[in-house]
Amino acid sequence: MILNVENVTKAFSSRGKGKIANDHLSFTISEGEVFGLLGQNGAGKTTLVNQILGLLTPDHGEILLLGKSVLKAPAHARSICSVQPQSQVPLGSLTPKQAVTLMGKMRAGKGFNPKRVDELFEALDMTEWANVEGVKLSGGAQRLTAFCMAVVVPGQLVILDEPTNDVDPVRRRYLWQVVRSLADQGTAVILVTHNVLEAEKAVDRLAIISHGKFLAQGTPREVKGSVSNKVRIELSLVNEIEEVSVPDWAHSLRRNGSRLLFSMDPSRISPTIDWITDQVDGGLVVDYSISPTTIEDAYIALNSKKTEGVS
């Protein structure tokens, strides 16, 4: 076991009012596992990460890294973790190759192999930026550089906070391949993100956090199953269409630009296909997909239940 978080609670006080950032959180991460920590800004993700790194002390609970208490040995925790923070790493005049090489030497000393830098740059298709000054790089290139700095000599636990912000879709896919290769070599990874669609493809297990509490935890299949066994429908609408009359059996209806999404019971697939065919023939729908419930659906459903429970 790499990480064991036991009943961790952390509260802050501001202007005389208390706020619970983490509320009795417990989970574990094993070697070679990618664990997703999903939640909106302010959900409590960063507070939890800072406690794992020994930068904050829990009010209650315990955190063990390789069986050793982070509370008692915070420096030990930081020595076995490598982190990509959410904020951009200021490179200044350093080039990506210089920055990543420097980080590698700091972590591995004389045992550092500079070929590792070239391998990472090739895997992420960023060789063209290797010798460009940091101040001249795009946000995506800077983000990829920060990722390389975190994994060039990975700790036994790698923490990635929104690693794909500003990164283009092609290199995002390359990044997830590198993450998976790290896990295959035994590294444990925490992926901190609000990008639910990406997380589903990248993680082995995950926890959805909201207002400091875990709403669900488990494998993607377990989390999706905790919500419903409904089928997901996604329609691409003709841009100029403002409204589409949906069947009365549609659930969790939501619109995002030209995308229309809803869920339904599996028993309704046949009439739904008939209805969609009518919409296509009528020029209202461009294309559509039918799929099982996704983590995005579960995330929205769980957060909706959380909101409904607030008075």
Domains of the chain: 3-225 (3.40.50.300), 231-292 (3.30.70)
pLDDT number for residue 298: 85
In angstroms, the CA 76 to CA 64 distance is 11
In angstroms, the CA 11 to CA 24 distance is 11
Candidates 132, 119, 123; CA nearest to 91 is: 132
5, 52 contact by CB (below 8 A): yes
**pLDDT reading at 152 higher than 70:** yes
pLDDT number for residue 240: 63
Burial class (CB in 10 A: 0-12, 13-18, 19+), 168: middle
**pLDDT reading at 310 higher than 60:** no
pLDDT number for residue 179: 97
**Across 60-69, average pLDDT:** 97
Q: CA 194 → CA 40, 82, 151, 187, 270, distances in Å? A: 6, 20, 21, 22, 34
233, 263 contact by CB (below 8 A): yes
Confidence of residue 198 (pLDDT cuts 50, 70, 90): confident
In angstroms, the CA 163 to CA 87 distance is 10
- Token digits for 82? 């490598």
Positive or negative: CA dihedral 66, 71, 76, 82? positive
User: pTM for the whole thing?
Assistant: 0.84
In angstroms, the CA 10 to CA 149 distance is 29
Mean pLDDT of the chain: 91
pLDDT number for residue 265: 87
